[in-house]
Structure 1
Amino acid sequence: MIPVQGVEDQTVAVLGLGRSGKATAAALQAGGAHVIAWDDGVDTREAAEAEGLHIADLTRDESWHGVTMLVTSPGIPHLYPHPHPVIARAYALGIPVDNDIGLFFRSYAGAGWDEFDRAPRVIAVTGSNGKSTTTALIHHILRECGRPSQMGGNIGTGVLSLEPARDGEVVVIELSSYQTELARALTPDVAVFTNLTPDHLDRHGGTGGYFAAKRRLFAEGGPDRAVIGIDEAEGLYLAGQLATAPSDDRVIRVSAGQKLDRAAWSVFARKGFLAEYRKGRQVASIDLRGISGLPGAHNHQNACAAYAACRAVGLPPREIEAAFHSFAGLPHRSQLVAEIDGVRYVNDSKATNVDAAAKALQAFQRIRWIAGGLGKDGGIAALTPYLEHVSKAYLIGHSARDFALEIGQTPYEIAETMEQAVAHASAEAEAGDIVLLAPAAASFDQYPNFEKRGEHFTALVEGLKAR
């Protein structure tokens, strides 16, 4: 645990008592704060109270007496589409609102750092797609190269539940737009921006607000190095905003298709090869085509971003390349579940939007595609250019029939459930086919989250192996 600094003898309110909220309350108490807490769920409040937390009804004015700060969980709206009433009350009372990410950045550095030979560092990763894989890949590379490392944030361990820093350690954290938008302190040593595609737009008041939330990681804290994916206009703009001159190598530009040989420092992938250029000269090259844990152009972009971040903290190219080969990938992200009679089954349940599904569809040939769920605004018509390798679509969930109207001439069936989709796809598949779960939709119509959806797919495939 990382005790929160600067809160001794203060009364701090915590809103939201899920995993991050309870961890935040514990870290505040470890820092000497008096914590009062609230959650809209009765069962959640009762469980937290049974664990020793002091519950105070923050919807009542009398509960705010003496409160100096409100710390909110990331899933609770604080601006759009409208602030949660408790957060709105804090604004009206002039009480600062923060989240666990802001508390982490203000508390991570400790007095003991003066005795370290090498100061700990923080790499923070944000973006629309690929940030979890990029975060996990950086963490994997660091550990394979012998550097002490922890991973947390939006993936794995909550930031305040991480262990205090060790000599020379690199902490790698994934940050969602919900987290970057509100944090009052954002000071990573290296910040990574993977890409930007429309998502969570109601929460941010549109694409501009969504990009602004991501941009805060770079504009507020001023990282020593910024790794920026420039394949979209927003990334190109951000790189231009951060660099002071064409020779400024504090910005490392990254692409999954463009040759970048004019920037001061760049990493890009073309035709399956990663290249690093510095001051117009190629300094490294890696063949990504045979790396099973990083299939497809979208994973090559992730590899470029992770490579650049690791180079920014001093790791050599050959050691990074060796670590690539031992990376198994993340569950639910182009995860190879099994190969049965020459048919490969791939779980990309995390492909919850059109852009992520498009990248999965481009990564494979001869696809039997399982898609559907709770469709998002705009539907999936934009996927039409990426369906040329789809032999047949098996559509499930709430939006199955809507999706059927948007996939052009692609053969399909309304399978309704995952059980039917897997059974029918496996029965019709031939050796060399890929049965790909890339839903292009949220999971909430049939599953509590994308992980449960992917786990169900995986369990069904494991059942095929047992036959």
Structure 2
Amino acid sequence: MIPVTGFEGRCVGVLGLGRSGLSAARALREGEAQVLCWDDNPAARETAEAEGFDIRNFARQSGFEGVDWLVVSPGIPHLYPEPNPVIAAAWDAGVPVDNDIGLFFRSLSAGGGWDMFDQPPRVIAVTGSNGKSTTSALIHHILQEDGRESQLAGNIGRGVLDIDPPVDGGVVVLELSSYQTDLARSLTPDVGVFTNLSPDHLDRHGGMGGYFAAKRRLFAEGGPDRCIVGQDEPEGRYLANQLSEGPTDDRVIRISSGRKLDGPGWNVFARKGFLSEYRKGRQVASIDLRDVRGLPGAHNHQNACAAYAAVRALGVAPRVVERALHSFSGLPHRSQIVAEAGGVRYVNDSKATNVDAALKALQAFPRIRWICGGLVKEGGLGGLQAGLGNVTKAYVIGREAAGFALGLSGVEAEVCTDMATAVAHAAKEAQEGEVVLLAPAAASFDQYDNFEKRGDDFAARVRETLGL
């Protein structure tokens, strides 16, 4: 645990008692703060009470009396589409609002003793729309392969305050969502990674501008020593330009998937299946990604570039990275191979909950039996068009399957509604050399609690259908 410092004897409210909220409450108590907790869910309140925490409904009159600080769980909206009433009340009471990420950076080095380290611990923070989890896990994997102490936390792995205090030369790898970067009052990573940007969570951020601004805070507020910035969208090129003092400023490492990056700076890009590192206009390393089974497709090659650049910023050798890439098995629900039978691969990419992520999955394989559908996000399905040429047939699930199928122009689409039917029909019709791919291009909440449940159902139906 990372004890939260700076609140000794002060009263801190915690709003939302999920994983991050309870973790923050425990870390605050460990740091000798007085903690008051609230969650609208009675079961969550009971769990907190069972751990000895005091409960207070901050929404009631004088709910913030005596409260010095409010820590909010990431799922609670603080501004758009409208402020949560408790957060609005905190504003009116003059109570600062923060989250567990802000507490982490505030407390990480506050305990003292860092002058005793030969190599001070480092923090790598990864944000962006797609690929954050794979990039973060891959960085963690490479560091472990290099024999370095590494912990994975944030939006993946453990809660950020649940990790152990880092050791000499240790690295903390954080995946940070826009919900987390938007509110944190302290953001001070040593290395910041921006993978890419595509429309997502727009209602939460008041549009694309607000969404990008939430991501940008990691760099503008945090001032990382090194910034790895994807260049495949205008926002990434804008951000790199804002952070750089000139074309040779190697504090900014530009990355891309699909095009060569020219210029005298520090560049890492993947093109035609090869990752290349260039510095001062000269190639210094190259890795063949085509046979790396855990990272199929251009979108995963971008993840490889981001992870490569992040660990190179810490001095990891290219040969170590290459070895680690081949031993990386990927993450569940992200281009995960769940079975192979009769020359057909079954791939679970349930995390592809938006059009951009699904498009990248479609572009990773040439002949696809595509299982898709769910709650379509803002912007519709038009952005999928560039990948539909790889689709042999679509099998549509979800409550609105018929409407979803109508949005797939030029593709044979069968309305299956449920996962069992979609998997059974796709498996029966699949030919050798094809891929049965779950890449929904939509949220899961019409049929499942989350994308993980959807991916697990896909894997279970595949095993059932194939008799595995």
TM-score when normalising by structure 2 = 0.99
Q: Secondary structure, in 3 states, of the residue corresponding to 2:329?
A: coil
Find the aligned partners of 1:380 and 1:329 in 2 and give their Cα distance.
27
1:369-388 matches, within 5 Å, as 369-388=370-389
2:417 alignment partner in structure 1: 416
The answer to whether the 8 Å contact 1:379/1:403 transfers is: no
Q: Which residue of 2 aligns with 1:94?
A: 94
Could you tell me how far 1:390 is from its partner in structure 2? 0.8
Partner of 2:212: 211
Separation in structure 2 between the aligned mates of residue 39 and residue 202 of structure 1, nearest angstrom: 23
CA distance in 1, matches of 2:198, 2:67: 38
In the alignment, what sits opposite 2:129?
Answer: 128
In the alignment, what sits opposite 1:196? 197
Within-5 A mapping of 1:320-331: 320-331=321-332
Corresponding residue of 1:39: 39
Q: In the TM superposition, what are the counterparts of 1:258-407 in structure 2 within 5 Å?
A: 258-407=259-408
Contact 2:330/2:336 (CA < 8 Å) preserved in 1? yes
Structure 2 Cα separation of the partners of residues 126 and 399 of structure 1: 31
**1:118-154 per-position Cα deviation (integer Å, ceiling 9, x unaligned):** 1000000000000000000000000001010000000
SS in 2 for 1:64: coil
The whole-number CA distance in structure 2 between the counterparts of 1:270 and 1:381 is: 26
Unpaired runs of 5+ residues, structure 2, are: none
Native 8 Å contact 1:375 1:399 kept in 2: no
| One-letter code aligned to 1:23 | S
Amino acid at match of 1:48: A
CA drift at 1:113: 1.7
The percentage of aligned residue pairs carrying the same residue is 68
Q: CA deviation at 1:214?
A: 0.2
Using the TM superposition, give the Cα deviation of residue 250 of structure 1 relative to its aligned residue in structure 2, in angstroms.
0.1
Per-residue deviation, 1:116 = 1.3
- The residue that corresponds to 2:81 in the other structure is 81
Deviations 1:259-304 (A, max 9, x none): 1131410100000000000011110000000000000000000000
2:423/2:465 contact within 8 Å kept? no
2:63 counterpart letter in structure 1: S
Distance 1:391 1:376 in 2: 24
AA aligned opposite 1:98: D
2:144: which partner in 1?
143
1:26-67 deviations in Å (ceiling 9; x for gaps): 000000100001111122212321222110110123332211
SS at match of 1:379: coil
Match of 2:30 in 1: 30
Q: Tell me the secondary structure at the aligned position of residue 174 of structure 2.
A: strand
Cα offset, 1:465, TM superposition:
3.3
Q: Which amino acid aligns with 1:94?
A: G
- Amino acid across the alignment from 1:6: G
Q: Which moved more, 1:245-254 or 1:112-121?
A: 112-121
Moved more, 28-37 or 456-465: 456-465
- Partners of 1:389 and 1:87 in 2: how far apart? 47
Q: CA deviation at 1:249?
A: 0.4
- Give a deviation string over 1:347-401, Cα, whole Å, max 9, x none: 0000000000000000001100000011112221221221111111000002311
Question: 1:117 Cα shift?
Answer: 1.2
Q: Distance in 1 between matches of 2:386 and 2:83?
A: 39
Residue 276 of structure 1 contacts residue 285 of structure 1 at CA under 8 Å; is this kept in 2? Answer: yes
Q: Which moved more, 1:110-119 or 1:427-436?
A: 110-119
Matches within 5 A, 1:95-174: 95-109=95-109, 110-174=111-175
Q: Which is worse superposed, 363-372 or 109-118?
A: 109-118
Quote the offset at 1:247 in angstroms.
1.2
Deviations 1:63-121 (A, max 9, x none): 32211100000000001111111100110111100000000001111312221111000
- Name the CA shift for 1:263/1:154 in 2 (closer, same or farther; >3 Å): farther
Taking structure 1 as the reference length, the TM-score comes to 0.99
C-alpha displacement of 1:24? 0.3
Partner of 2:71: 71
Q: Tell whether the 8 Å contact from 1:247 to 1:263 is kept in structure 2 after alignment.
A: yes
Superposed, 1:237-276 pairs within 5 Å as 237-276=238-277
Q: Indicate the residue corresponding to 1:186 in structure 2.
A: 187
The C-alpha deviation readout for 1:381-427, integer Å capped at 9, x for no partner, is 22122111111100000231122111122111100100000000011
Give, as a single letter, the amino acid of the residue that structure 2 aligns with 1:410: V
**Counterparts of 1:262 and 1:185 in 2: how far apart (Å)?**
33
Counting matched residue pairs gives 467
Aligned counterpart, 1:7:
7
- What is the distance in 2 between the residues matched to 1:446 and 1:380? 19
- Looking at structure 1, the residues matched to 327 and 262 of structure 2 have their Cα atoms a distance apart, in angstroms, of 29
In structure 1, how many angstroms separate the alpha carbons of the residues matched to 2:461 and 2:427? 10
Secondary structure, aligned partner of 1:247 = coil
8 Å contact kept, 1:201–1:210: yes
**Whole-Å Cα distance in 2 between the matches of residues 399 and 276 of structure 1?**
45
For 1:120, the aligned partner's letter is: P
The aligned amino acid for 2:70 is L
Map of 2:228 onto structure 1: 227
Runs of 4+ in structure 1 deviating by more than 3 angstroms, as ranges, are none
Q: CA RMSD in A?
A: 0.9
Task: Output the CA distance in 1 between the equivalents of 2:129 and 2:227.
Answer: 17
One-letter amino acid matched to 2:307: A
Structure 2 residue 449 is matched with structure 1 residue 448: yes
